Structure 1
Amino acid sequence: MAEAAAGADAATISRFDPPPLTGGKLVLGTVALSLATFMNVLDSSIANVSIPAIAGDFGVSPSQGTWVITSFAVSNAISVPLTGWLTQRFGMVRLFTLSILLFVIASLLCGLAPNFATLVVFRVLQGLVAGPMIPLSQSLLLQSYSKEKSGIALAFWSMTTLVAPVMGPMLGGWITDSYSWPWIFYINIPVGLFAIVATWLLYRDRESPTRKLPIDTVGLALLIIWVGALQIMLDNGKELDWFASVWIIALALIAAIGFVFFLIWEISEAHPIVDLSLFKRRNFWAGTLSLSLGYGIFFGNVVLLPLWLQQFMGYTATWAGLLMAPVGILAILITPFVGKNLQKVDLRIMATVAFASFALVFWMRAQFNVQADLFTLMLPSIIQGIPMAFFFVPLMALILSGLSPERIPAAAGLSNFVRITAGAFGTSIFTTLWEDRAALHHAGLVESINGASLPTTEALRQFSALGMEDGRGLAYINRLIEQQAYMLSANDLFLASAGLCLGLIAVVWLSRPGGAVGVADGGGAH
């Protein structure tokens, strides 16, 4: 009987394919779902330029301040892959609206946080409840459009995912400079409430079928353990001198062992919390790998650039954000064109354009120096709109190609989990390498600063003529060297990013040409 009931449930789910929305309902649904996605993604980057202000208010170091970013990213990464299981258990629409409601409450708590530890706890909560929002907004949007217009749906979804990380620093900088950092969280409240009301009114009669599934508690526990341990290791590795620390070694072992046991358990589990069978599909694993590694590189640069501008180039949070704002211009203009042509142009060619353009942008940034003017700093941001438009839409279409509607929430959740985790790792790795490389450059530059150096003695003589003692003069020289060291370190990372993007082109071509989203194939994408 139980097997028959399960079979009936599965058959009901497989038949679930509601008709597309039309007219004003389609427009309102697109706006509501896009705003929910925008709000979610915005919160992953809006705090970037506010880290110095948050760290200063709570009396912690800037490196500790990055926990505001990574705590959200890690908890979000843990909850995202649960989307497929939760959707089958509670229904797509109920789960989505509940996630937004809890996200709004968590945002309010973040703004009211009395100390840094509490803020981090509330950011963890915010990330956990936000998990299903992005994959479900994607699934609901695809459900709202006809199969022929699935590319347009992905384009609208991707525009919010693309623009939000770039607008985050600009909006966060303006709010921090003009008001105070808690308002970067309070702005979620009106947006979230509108998205809840609009989504429920439009989609409550289009609820997906549900079935009672046993909770894979072991798989969930293992997921939390290995992802949490790995991220904590990355966040604390620099301060604890990496593997010279017993604590870091222990975390690395926990992460590695937890990951292995997680894979073994999920593959053999009858009702896994994460559907790893999706990785049997070539387009899914190749597209997910390309998207995730590319996003990790992109997000690491999104965090690095504002930090460098504020700490060593004298830019305010607002201006650091404004320098990145032009990314959205070309992205918004080109993304609809990309969506309309998904069925006409090989998706792998589009993704190649994205990674080649990203490489060009990062190479341009690798040429920066401390005398770079506003236009020089802003030009790569303008050009970056091109790869942004060709990045998400084709790769998401490739990942979801050939999947039947009932598998899209699980596939979207799993691919977004890998992508978000890569973004969190990118943040930790880039900030760590930036400081490590800066220390190496600083050591090399100070070798020529000594009493036998004519430029040094001449500089100190000039400082003395201006009334500065040798100690103050040497401190000023050290500050200049430090500025140069961090600039050179940033250049190293920008150049490495360019090379990695070129390498990802080869990964894209491991996939096969993608088919329509939401239409099951006969195994051709396997």
Structure 2
Amino acid sequence: METGFRKWVIVVTIITSTIIELIDTTIVNVSINTMSGNLGASLEDTAWVITSYAIANVIVIPMTSFLAEKIGRKQYYIGSILLFTLASALCGFSTNLWELVAFRFLQGIGGGALLSTSQAILFETFAPKERSTAAGIFSLGIIIGPSVGPVLGGYIIDNLSWQWIFYVNIPIGLMAAFLSYAYLRPSKASTDKRSIDWLGIFLLTAGVGSLQVVLERGETDDWFSASYIVVLSILSVISLALLIWWELKIEFPVINLRVLKSTTLSISALMTFVLGFCLFSAIFVFPLYAQRIIGYTAFQTGMMMLPGTLMAALVSPFLGKILQSGVRPQYIIITGFLFSAIFGFMMSGSNLETGSAYFFIPLIFRGLGNALLIVPLTALAVSELKPHEIPQGAALNNMMRQMGGSFGIALINTYIAHRAAANRTALITHVTPGDPITQQRMQAIINNLVAHGSNYYKAMQQAIAALENTVVRQTYLLSYMNAFLLLAILNATCIPLVLVTIKKRKVIKAGKVEVSDAH
């Protein structure tokens, strides 16, 4: 526990580190189009810049508790900041896509360690009675980071070059490392001689990494018609099955799956996965939709998301105190999923004529929904665990959120591509030479072009190109609408899961009935 100036310097340092780590999960989203063009890569390949970072987060988060204890929390934390900062510089210096993907993975290793270790340090900085305040402050970082990313990324893309979305981390990272060195209390490495679960780490990396490649590249390469997709699918299934068996077998696993005996934790972990899926997918899809379909700049797109972020920032610090006052987390969680579902349903009703004013309300719902889910879901997840199980339960829950985000970006990208093919097929059946409306539109375009000096043959080619452009825009409009609707449905389906944990269980003991809350 800290007091006075030291306490608040630590708080600012921790929150800054958390925010820059999470900013980097989404700051790339608004620059995907620019990166794709500058690096000469497809949009699907460039999405690996996002997913490689998320995969690294997923892999390292469950290891952080053990590594921090083994190395010493202060040393591990500062080392993670420096790794994150160095990798950021290397990302900016990258000359091709796959260099960038590799350095982003390294950046994610440092960043994922920051996320879990920051939470532990923040909780130790506050007195036990102030832990709810600490939880609210930490959730503020979780919400602000991903949401500010598109704003900052948009400004940088519009005014500088994409490399600067990585260079901005360098001074912030160096300052955070210096303040951590100066103000964090020294921590000794553990003398515990227990061995590192290297097999568990390998199986986790192989299983999650292989599955991510399958999800990311499956649609592009026609799924199981590609031999490497078949091989990686088999590797993923075998690795994850062996991981579960091994982690339940050994005494000191890298992921303590035994805590999932708690039904509440299991359900909460599933809902946290959906939260991560929808949180990161929405921040991935909306910038692409706003820029590619509506025609906004990267900065305009980021600014549209800012009011929802500010609303979430206003609500988050109070959630811990609300929970501490006795309000059951389930009621807040239901409201959070409801607001998130409303965002998806409203977005699925927009069209090519939709103005920026329309997006204000759904984006407010998105911000509030996320704010109402992060802290209460964590509180619900660990509510039935014994004190010594809480760190593992919280780490598992954090991992599920990041895994949901990692899989979400890959799956939503695949889903949009799949829906685009289906929607295009449905649209072009109505765009035929024999269709009167198509003929009328074609002739109107040709007449307009001829009137402005074009010859008839060239005008006809331009009219066909214009019609194709319209079909493409409508195709992707429908596909993005389908994606938003999918996110709405996923959020809505979590509400019955919350209701399961609200039900009171009757416990028959010693001939009498006792009532215990399943929270």
Common topology (TM > 0.5): yes
Please, which runs of 5 or more residues in structure 2 have no aligned partner? 451-457, 505-515
- Structure 2 contact 223–229 (Cα < 8 Å) conserved: yes
Task: For residue 376 of structure 1, give the secondary structure of its aligned residue in structure 2.
Answer: helix
Q: Cα offset for 1:286?
A: 2.2
| Misfit runs of 4+, over 3 Å | 205-210, 400-412, 509-514, 523-526
Q: Distance in 1 between matches of 2:435 and 2:384?
A: 68
String of CA shifts for 1:360-389, please: whole Å, max 9, x gaps.
111110111000011012331123222122
Q: Distance in 1 between matches of 2:388 and 2:14?
A: 19
3-state SS of the aligned residue for 1:325? Answer: helix
- Deviation per CA, 1:84-124, whole angstroms, max 9, x where unpaired? 22122112222111111111111111111122111111111
- What is residue 4 of structure 1 aligned with on the other side? none
Aligned to 2:70: 89
More divergent stretch after superposition (370-379 vs 196-205): 196-205
One-letter code of the match for 2:101?
V
Q: Secondary structure at the match of 2:175?
A: helix
How far, CA to CA, are the matches of 2:80 and 2:486 in structure 1? 37
Distance 1:384 1:423 in 2: 15
What is the CA deviation profile of residues 443-501 of structure 1, one whole-angstrom value per residue up to 9, with x for unaligned ones? 11111111221111111211221225222212211211111111111112212211211
Displacement, 1:206? 5.4
Relative to structure 1, is the Cα distance of residues 138 and 513 closer, same or farther in structure 2, using a 3 angstrom cutoff? farther
Aligned partner of 1:473 in structure 2 is 463
SS at match of 2:186: helix
- Paired with 1:212 and 1:525, the residues of 2 have a C-alpha distance of 37
Corresponding residue of 1:400: 382
Could you tell me which of 385, 400, 407 is aligned with 2:367?
385
The 5 A counterparts of 1:364-375 are 364-375=346-357
TM-superposition CA deviations, 1:35-56 (whole Å, max 9, x none): 1110111111100111111111
What is the alpha-carbon distance in structure 1 between the residues aligned to residue 392 and residue 72 of structure 2? 13
**CA contact under 8 A between 1:225 and 1:255: conserved in structure 2?**
yes
Residue in 1 that maps onto 2:249:
268
Give the equivalent residue in structure 2 for 1:159: 140
- Is 488-497 or 47-56 further displaced after alignment? 488-497
Residue pairs, 1:335-350, within 5 angstroms: 335-343=316-324, 344-350=326-332
How far is the alpha carbon of 1:338 from its aligned partner? 1.4
1:254 to 235, 246, 251: 235
Determine whether 1:80 maps to 2:61. yes
**Alpha-carbon distance, 1:311 to partner:** 1.6
- SS of equivalent to 1:205: coil
1:70-97 superposed Cα distances (whole Å, 9 cap, x missing partner): 0111122111111122122112222111
Residue 425 of structure 2 aligns to which amino acid in structure 1?
A: A
- The counterpart of 1:320, out of the listed 280, 286, 301, is 301
Give the equivalent residue in structure 2 for 1:520: none
What is the CA deviation profile of residues 214-234 of structure 1, one whole-angstrom value per residue up to 9, with x for unaligned ones? 122211111111011000111
Distance apart, 1:402 and its partner CA: 5.8
Structure 2 residue aligned with 1:429: 411
Decide whether the 8 Å contact of 1:132 with 1:413 is kept in 2: no
Contact 1:301 1:430 in 2 (8 A): no
The question of whether the paired residues in 1 share the 8 Å contact of 2:259 and 2:385 is answered with: no
For residues 423 and 144 of structure 2, what CA distance do their matches in structure 1 show? 34
Counterpart position of 1:205: 186
Indicate conservation of the 8 Å contact 1:88/1:210, yes or no. Answer: no
Q: Distance in 1 between matches of 2:185 and 2:231?
A: 47
Alpha-carbon separation, structure 2, partners of 1:189 and 1:513: 49
Q: Which moved more, 1:177-186 or 1:503-512?
A: 503-512
Q: Which letter does structure 2 place at the counterpart of 1:396?
A: T
Give the aligned residue type for 2:8: V
Given that residues 21 and 111 in structure 2 are in contact (C-alpha distance below 8 angstroms), is that contact kept between their aligned partners in structure 1? yes
- Larger mean Cα displacement after TM superposition, 36-45 or 264-273: 264-273
In the alignment, what sits opposite 1:14?
Answer: none
**Who is 1:8 aligned against?**
none
2:492 paired residue number:
502
Q: Distance in 2 between matches of 1:97 and 1:404?
A: 30
Q: Distance in 2 between matches of 1:452 and 1:103?
A: 59
Q: Secondary structure at the match of 1:384?
A: helix
Give the stretch that moved more between structures: 167-176 or 500-509.
Answer: 500-509
Change (3 A) 1:277 1:84: farther
Alignment RMSD, CA only?
A: 2.0
Equivalent residues of 1:85, 1:410 under 8 A apart? no
Q: TM-score, normalised by structure 1?
A: 0.91
1:83 touches 1:409 (CA, 8 Å); kept in 2?
A: no
Matched, 1:57 2:47: no
Q: Is the 8 A contact 2:337 2:495 kept in 1?
A: yes
Residue segments in structure 1 that go unaligned for 5+ positions in a row: 1-19, 515-522
Cα-to-partner distance string for 1:276-323 (whole Å, 9 max, x where unaligned): 222123332222221121220221121011112212221111112122
| 2:200–2:246 contact (8 Å) kept in structure 1 | yes
Question: Normalised by the size of structure 2, how large is the TM-score?
Answer: 0.92
In the other structure, the counterpart of 1:170 is: 151
CA distance in 1, matches of 2:347, 2:60: 34
Aligned to 1:290: 271
How far does residue 409 in structure 1 lie from its aligned partner after superposition? 4.3
| AA of the residue aligned to 2:59 | I
Query: 2:311 maps to which residue?
Result: 330
1:444 correspondence with 2:426? yes
The alignment partner of 2:323 has SS state of coil
- How big is each residue's C-alpha offset from its partner over 1:309-343, in whole Å with a ceiling of 9 and x where there is no partner? 21222111111212222221210111122121112
Pair 1:491 & 2:481 matched: yes
Counterpart Cα distance in 2 of 1:93 and 1:404: 26
Which region of structure 1 is more displaced relative to structure 2, 460-469 or 145-154? Answer: 460-469
Q: Is 1:278 aligned to 2:259, yes or no?
A: yes
The 2-side partners of 1:472 and 1:38 are apart by 48
CA contact (8 A) 1:151 1:397 kept: no
Instruction: Supply the AA of the counterpart residue of 2:232.
Output: L
After alignment, is 321-330 or 195-204 more displaced?
Answer: 195-204
> Which amino acid is the alignment partner of residue 240 of structure 1?
D
- Whole-angstrom distance in 1 between the partners of 2:178 and 2:19: 16
Preserved CA contact (<8 Å) 1:347 1:394 = yes
Q: State the alpha-carbon separation in 1 of the partners of residues 129 and 427 from structure 2.
A: 59
Point out which structure has higher relative CO (alpha carbons under 8 A, 6+ apart): 1
Task: Summarize the Cα distance change of 1:294–1:90 in structure 2 as closer, same or farther, 3 Å threshold.
Answer: same
Q: How far off its partner does 1:203 sit?
A: 2.2
1:455 matched to 2:437? yes
